[in-house]
Structure 1
Amino acid sequence: MPTAIIADDEDLQRSDLQRMLQLIWPELEILATCEDGGDALDAITKFQPNIAFLDIRMPELSGLDVARASDGKCRVVFTTAFDNHAIEAFKLGAIDYLLKPITEERLQHTISRIKEQLSAGTTPQDLIQVMAALDQRLREPQEAEKIRWISANSGSTIKLFSIEDVLFFESDLRYTRVVSADDEGHIRTSIKELQKGLSPDQFWQIHRSIMVNPRAIARARRDEMGNIFVELKNHREQLRVSQTYAWRFKGM
């Protein structure tokens, strides 16, 4: 019996997709419905479904993050509200997508493709390179939107950082640290909001609360527990990489 999980942070979208799947593909067992990317990744690890229907934009982890972290453990179908121009990116690799609002006709087409793949016994491709390309296409900010300078507070002083000089960003519940080789400050902008103005190759997310400038990385190392830490060229702090983003250092 084929199995699946559904992940979408909108209750109505999640329930509508579940209803249509049960109508069109009654043999499909829905193992879990998830409200965010973290729950989706946990469900994939726990239940090992054949298929994951993942919304692109979700709290904590995006659908792209979940797909990368799952590393081919299941087939991925993205659900998205992106326009037709952005959808061109989905034609990379063996990945399907459902444009919201999802229609039964389009869902039937996707199900037919999945059934053919399952019958043929084909396995999901390695998604790492495909996800990286897809991420860049979907997240690439327009020229006018790109962040070039950061104004950050340090006590009563406002400091100006060129984005090229920033080594990493680190967020907590209230603020985000902006750290350069010889200075730092704080801003109220979240990691998620910063990402909208940064190209994917400018800063790598390595933890839900950390983005690092890849040009500032000296090396990455594993400790005796298997945890990965990033060491920087011009700073003494070491940054921990969460398991979700360990794929960036997969060769270790």
Structure 2
Amino acid sequence: MKKVLIADDEKAGRILIKEFLEDYPNLVLIAEVNNGVDAINEINRFKPDLVFLDIQMPGKTGFEVLNHLEEIPDIIFSTAYDEYALKAFEVHAVDYLLKPYTKERFKTAVERLNSSISKIGELAQSVFMEDTAYPSRVLVQYNKKLITIKCEHIVWVEAYGDYSKVHTHDQAYLSNFGIGDLEEKLDPKLFLRVHRSSIINLDRVKELKRYGKSYDVTMDNEEIVRVSRGYMDAIKKIML
């Protein structure tokens, strides 16, 4: 038997989850809240085994809630926002239910919980927690899908606010990781930070052109990446 808590600021969302939970007598609802602050307090108080967690809530977002918990329970995100799906991989969520979802989709999430196999967690482990020091693949967003691409296919990475754009030869993908986080995850033998907003794949460099006291790097997809003066020493280290 698992203790369940629902954190969702929409009453309709809470009602739907409670209705679907009726088919699972082993999942016992112990509390429901409608904001992030109460979610933190009640989760720390009751120590539920499973939380159905909305993302955009008053007080604290779902991700902020997780940062204030004494113990992290199993999490199934239930949200109307698809742009946070990649970030759900980072916290090893059991599943990511995108509203409006069906009873069958809810069942799939519960089955992942019961089998102790999270497809999200499993994929995240295969991508970001390989036996090697650096992953051979990364997760990116393409339209409304999540796909993996091989790191060797990355031409360069561009800062995009709190996120990053991952450029391949003919496509740009969105990553929920900031450029600093990606820099740590990518193999430094292959990837070089050349600007506070840019990381290049050294194997994909076509040519360097002098630009004032710095350089412009032409990548093999013909895109040009500027080297800032602060990163010139890094460029000089790879010159013969």
What range is the shorter-chain TM-score in? 0.3 to 0.5
Which structure is higher in RCO with an 8 Å CA cutoff and minimum separation 6? 1
TM-score (norm 2): 0.46
Whose radius of gyration is greater, 1 or 2? 2
